[in-house]
Structure 1
Amino acid sequence: MGKGKKSAPAGRLGRIALPGQRGAALLVFMLLMVMGGLFYIFTGLPSDSTAARRTQQTQETLTLAREALVGHALRYREQQTAQGQPGRMYGYLPLPDLGSTRNNNPGCLPEGCEAANFAGNALGSTVIGRLPWRTLGIEPLRDSSGECLWYAVSGSHQREQRLSPMNWDALGHLDVVVANGTAALASALAGPHERPVAVIFSAGPALPGQNRAPAGGDDVARCGGNYDVANYLDPAAAAALGGVTNYLAGTNKAYAVTDALVPKALTTRGRVFASGGNFLADACPGSDCSLLANDTGLALTGDALFGAIRKHAYFRTDINALLDRMANCLRDQAIASGTAARIADNACYDSTQVPLGYYEHYKEMVFLARPSGPFTVNGDGSCAAALIFAGQRGAGQQRATAAQKLDFSNYLEGANLANFSAAGTVFSGPTTFERAPAQAPEQDIVRCVPGTPSVTPVTSPTLGANQLVAYDTATRTLTLGRQDVTTGWGYNANALFGCGWFSDARAIGNGLRSYFNFQFMDVGGSVGFNGFVFALVDALRNNLNVCGGGSSHLGYSGDNGVTPKIRFPKIGVEFDQSRNTGFSESADLSSNPGRNDPCGTFGCGGTAGYNSHAALVYWGHEAANGFDGVTRPDDDDNVHGFPTAGSLATVRRPPRSHLDPAIESGIKFVNLRGDPVDSSLYHVRVELTPTRTTNADASLSKTAVSLQVWIAADFPTTSSARIDALKDTTRPMSFYMLTDPTFTPTLTDAPDLFDVQEAACVSGACPAGQACGSDNMCYRPALEKIQLGFTGSQRTSDQLVNIKDLFTTWLP
């Protein structure tokens, strides 16, 4: 044999593929793989994957819609207030969009607007229509079939025809039913508190018998179709699911009166098939199958809604303000021994009082206990009663039926329940309603109702029975001044002082918002020539027995020589009816020392036409000062313009009281005399907002205080909305100024209050809450605890001013 390539051994030739053969085999293999993949695609998994993606898209869209609905619910009370309807309660939900021809909403005409009080709406009406996307502030949301979403709101929670009470226990009128292989749909809910208050629907593809063509008349430019609910929500034949439908009666099958006893059943779990007389969920084996429904719904329960509402700071402020008002009112009343019951109705804290509307909706949560013998509230044995606010339902608690609502165990917790039910003696719990879950939702809030009146008067011993201060617990009126005390009985001005302090002090926290009204009364043909001061003083340096001097000191400044003086730091809102020119000081208050009061009358060159004024005052000099001529530093606390700019070189300056109403914001001319007989009634709002700045040298740490004061006379021309705004201390005035920007404060200032010096540091250390300064002295924040009150005085003319309706919202 010649040389060349070796032949393949016998038996191997058939197993050797030539290059062309290998290429053909690879091509065949690839074709088989592609065909297998296509077979795989068209025989199941990709179809399931597509369905899963469509389901996920729909669920995400429904979730977005529910979040938008909850967000709108959180803005509801404020939106209604801005529209002139104060006192609306969180928890009410908008109506659906019923079509532009049915909505009856002149303020919002296009597609996507919520219905207003449409024809046929009634108390307890559940309503179904399209999601009101425009009202919710979103674009139209569509499900995976391209359909816009639908929305059902329970008759218990619709905001046009409002059922009461509205709180976290209000039962929805809706039930969720499911197919379980039997001849009837069954409820999927464990109890009445799980019922939805709203359901958002994806209608899915049309079923036979449903007509989604435009019907004409309504604006459907964005979503198309029509507003007949039965053309979208299922079943197409009303009797197909045993009478269960996702629509109602009335025009377009959109509304019907419902109730909590027989809730409206809805299907929300997607496809429902009928087979052999039974209803099957999602899938149906065999050929005897009829698709009756394909609606997917996402429920909003009352618990979920109020879980979000409780996180709203305004809601928590409102609940705490309600409890503050109740405790303040009750301390001025006699509470019967042996009391253990829900709180009784009272005009002092009803729904007409701030926080507007709350009492009627939450009174079933409030309990009052006063055992016959000794008892304590959070360790305090001086209380007149325990005020208990029951929280949201805890595990096992039910508040659906009348009997359950009478069972205290469905409201109160632990030791409070045991002591309340068995006339026990120990009640305890947090005093403020806080965010959940930081605070357990079911936590009892427990307040002490103090055994002393709301106001503690500070009297002048010289005056005996003729005091210049009195508090009437029946009307909750504080009176400063008295007729004939000066003009008839001739008391010396040194004795003519009187103060009234609110009997509990509070931490400054994030500030406060106070309201009160006052009126100078005619006494002997005049409303007097003095005035009074609303005082905010440091409660750690002052007590309920402090008061200042008579005459032009207005009970705020000076040392009367009998009671302790009012020590700095302090802030006063002064209402002064006359002018004490220049500055002077004297131990004899009858000399009427000058206060640098501004000139407002024409005779002294003023232009206002009157000298009466309002001003923010502080405490003048802390020590004698030659530059300003101050030898009695206790006596210049309400001197305008003090301390002057050149009088002190130190950084730790006391705040300066403003002097000139023409150019300074902390003093203005206000006609406090008003009507020819009694003065006008004046409404006052005070807002204090602190901002802390700490320094490595504690002597330079300070609290910057933003002060704003509104003063409005109650004239016939005064807007009632403005008066309501002043009274509503649960909201900042900045909220109301969004719709009334010209209602600006009368007085403003932003003083720096340097920290208060205490005892010397010990080895560089100070007590808790204090810090050591470079001078080896301890310092604490000024006004870290605030005591509120009113101070007044007389001199040569009588005066009588009635102060009412003081209420303060403290911001924790």
Structure 2
Amino acid sequence: MTATAPGALRGPQRHACRPPARPASARARRAPDPSRGQALIAALLLLTLLAAGGLLAGGELRARAHALAHARSVEALATARAALIGYAISYAETHPGEGYGFLPCPDAANTGSTPIGACGARGTAAVGRLPWRTLGLPELRDGWGECLWYAVAGSVKHNPKPQALNWDSPGQFRLLDPAGRALPVAAADGMAVAVVFSPGPPRSGQIRPGTRGTSCAGGASTADLAHYLDPGHPRAGSGEIDIALHPATLDEEAPNDLAAWIGLDDLFDALRRRRDHAGHVDAILARSANALAARLAADRAAWLTRHARSRGALATGVLPAAETLGIAAALRPLIDDWREQIHFAACADGSACIGVVRPAAAGERCRAVLAFGGERIRSGPERQLRTTAAERADPAAWFEGRNVAALRVGVPEFEGAEHFRVAAPERPATEDVIRCLP
């Protein structure tokens, strides 16, 4: 709409007879028009309201700009998180002969790529830039134009790899709210295995150097962390690491980092949705069972003496290392990732004393069995905990039903499926697997 200029005439001009002009003296003696003062007051009031409205509009615009930047940051974090999970559940395809669940080391050279070598010692956390090139992403930036930072636990990083990685591996990062309370993480121990950070705009005291021949501003050193992340940010090292997180506000002096995190259950819940996941785990069990059967066939009594404990009618134990089982070196890491979850039992007298009950199938008599506990039961009265050494030493942390008594006190009765299977991809596959050995 076109504005109309003050004082302009609208429509065609109309001429009318005008009364004779008054003498100047009459005009001078005219009384003041009170409407003129009211108009002035109204004009001043209008200016005041417009000025206040401008200030309010400026604050609203600032809030809207902040909200937009916040939303862009959240989107970048979600993209990074999804890419990390995708990397973990496809690791064996990009690294033939290795398992699943590994996450990349952080970018240590500000190039967008994970380093060729190791990132710290085995079992220690590493912190750096998000390796967006390694993840097959464009250069991700948050809503304020800053590149993302990333911390990965030693229990899942790909170099050097942990001694074992499976769905019961520990996390390393404890996420805390401003009151020091733990934030929820999808993991049995409540610890995250990876955290991605949006640093947001610089706060007072944060000095962010300009680009040094790289696409991301600043250096590659973690010494720059304090200039990007809030106090309480992650550090490299061993043991449990606390990370303080704060809600986003418009206060320029308040902590302003945004974060997205991954728990171990996030990785294996996604992996379980792969159609070939059950076959991958079952192949590991088959290879373990064949190797164990070969050891028992070669020298049953001596082998059980070295690797089993006598419990009632049975000799039981946890699967030994793949090297002890005589498995080829290239295949050992896959077996060792899972061996703590694999138990065995053999009849002490060498007979077929073990009865195995199958779901909807005929039972079997066995001289020995390999038992695999499956995923833990996460809730309810039968909830299983596998976070401490004492918990892991109890067969009830791994098995259910009569299998617990069999492994605890040597009752030679087991029950379970012959093969590992995923009945419902959205739920943990907790069913015990019992393989009969000759």
**Which TM bucket (shorter chain)?**
0.7 to 0.9
Deviations 1:218-240 (A, max 9, x none): x42x33333322221123xxxxx
- Is residue 127 of structure 2 the alignment partner of residue 112 of structure 1? no
Letter in 2 for 1:231: H
Q: Is the 8 A contact 1:342 1:364 kept in 2?
A: yes
CA contact (8 A) 2:403 2:414 kept: yes
Which residue does 2:200 correspond to in 1? 204
State the SS of the aligned residue for 1:206.
Answer: coil
- For 2:40, the equivalent position in structure 1 comes to none
Which residue of the partner structure matches residue 58 of structure 1? 73
Task: Name 1:391's counterpart in structure 2.
Answer: 374
TM-score, reference length from structure 2: 0.73
Alignment partners' CA distance in 2, 1:132 and 1:346? 33
Residue in structure 2 matched with residue 554 of structure 1 by the alignment: none
Alpha-carbon distance, 1:196 to partner: 0.8
Matched, 1:359 2:330: no
1:76 and 2:91 matched: yes
Question: Cα deviation per residue 1:249-292 (whole Å; 9 max; x = unaligned)?
Answer: xxxxxxx3212xxx111123444xxxxxxxxxx588xxxxx835
Which of 84, 99, 102 pairs up with 1:92? 102
Mapped to 1, the partners of 2:318 and 2:160 lie a distance apart of 28
Assess if the C-alpha contact under 8 Å between 2:319 and 2:339 holds in 1: yes
The 5 A counterparts of 1:152-171 are 152-171=151-170
Is the Cα–Cα contact under 8 Å of residues 106 and 129 in structure 2 kept in the other structure? yes
Secondary structure at 2:336's aligned position in 1?
helix
Distance in structure 2 (CA, Å) of the matches to 1:128 and 1:432: 40
Gaps of 5+ in 2: 1-42, 305-312
Does structure 2 retain, via aligned residues, the 8 Å contact 1:74–1:90? Answer: yes
- Structure-2 residue corresponding to 1:267: 244
More helix by share: 2
Matched, 1:193 2:189: yes
Contact 1:92 1:159 survives alignment (8 Å)? yes
> CA distance change for structure 1 residues 303 and 157 in 2, over 3 Å: closer, same or farther?
same
CA spacing shift, 1:439–1:374, aligned 2, 3 Å: farther
CA 1:225–1:434: 2 relative to 1, 3 Å? same
Q: Where does 1:405-420 land on structure 2 (aligned, <5 Å)?
A: 405-420=392-407
SS in 1 for 2:278: helix
Question: Residue 680 of structure 1 aligns with which residue?
Answer: none
Is residue 318–residue 355 contact of structure 1 (8 Å, CA) maintained in 2?
Answer: no
**Could you tell me the percent identity over the aligned residues?**
29
Name the TM-score, length of structure 1 as normaliser.
Answer: 0.41
Task: Flag the structure with larger Rg.
Answer: 1
Q: Which residue of 2 aligns with 1:368?
A: 344
Residue 412 of structure 1 and its aligned partner are, at CA, apart by 0.8
How much does 1:384 deviate? 2.2
User: What amino acid is aligned across from residue 115 of structure 2 in structure 1?
Assistant: A
Aligned to 1:126: 125
Cα distance, 1:203–1:350 mapped onto 2, change above 3 Å? farther
Amino acid aligned to 1:417:
V
Which residue is equivalent to 2:19? none
Q: Does the 8 Å contact 2:374/2:433 carry over to 1?
A: no
* Counterpart residue type for residue 259 of structure 2: G
Higher strand share: 1
Partners of 1:148 and 1:439 in 2: how far apart? 34
Higher RCO (CA-CA < 8 Å; seq separation 6+): 2
CA distance in 1, matches of 2:59, 2:234: 34
Distance 1:346 1:359, change over 3 A: closer
Offset at residue 430 of structure 1 (A): 2.7
Question: Partner residue of 2:408?
Answer: 421
1:715-743 deviation digits (Å, cap 9, x = unpaired): xxxxxxxxxxxxxxxxxxxxxxxxxxxxx
Cα contact 2:292–2:325 (8 A) shared by 1: no
Q: Distance in 1 between matches of 2:61 and 2:387?
A: 47
Q: 1:281-315, CA deviations, whole angstroms, 9 ceiling, x for partnerless residues?
A: x588xxxxx83521111111111112222333554
Is the Cα–Cα contact under 8 Å of residues 319 and 343 in structure 2 kept in the other structure? yes
- Tell me what 2:12 maps to: none
Give, in whole Å, the separation in 2 of the partners of 1:304 and 1:436: 18
Partners of 2:340 and 2:333 lie apart in 1 by 14
Asked whether the 8 Å contact 1:384–1:448 carries over to 2, the reply is no
**C-alpha distance after superposition, 1:301-339 (max 9, x if no partner):** 111112222333554333211211233344442566512
- Call closer, same or farther: CA 1:206–1:340 in 2, change over 3 Å: same
Aligned counterpart for 1:224 among listed residues 217, 225, 229: 217
| Displacement after TM superposition at 1:189 (Å) | 5.0
Query: 2:85–2:267: 8 Å Cα contact kept in structure 1?
Result: yes
| Contact 1:112 1:135 (C-alpha < 8 Å) held by counterparts | yes
Task: Figure out how many residues of one structure are paired with residues of the other and give that number.
Answer: 365
User: Is the Cα contact below 8 Å between 1:377 and 1:447 reproduced in 2?
Assistant: no
Which of 210, 214, 228 aligns to 1:214? It is 210
State the Cα distance separating 1:385 from its structure 2 match: 2.6
Residue identity in the other structure for 2:159 = E
Task: Evaluate the alpha carbon distance shift between residue 114 and residue 439 of structure 1 in structure 2; reply closer, same or farther with a 3 A threshold.
Answer: closer
Deviation by residue 1:493-537 (Cα, 9 ceiling, x = unmatched): xxxxxxxxxxxxxxxxxxxxxxxxxxxxxxxxxxxxxxxxxxxxx
Tell me what 1:706 maps to: none
**Paired AA for residue 428 in structure 1:** E
Q: Residue 104 of structure 2 contacts residue 158 of structure 2 at CA under 8 Å; is this kept in 1?
A: yes
CA distance change for structure 1 residues 47 and 428 in 2, over 3 Å: closer, same or farther? farther
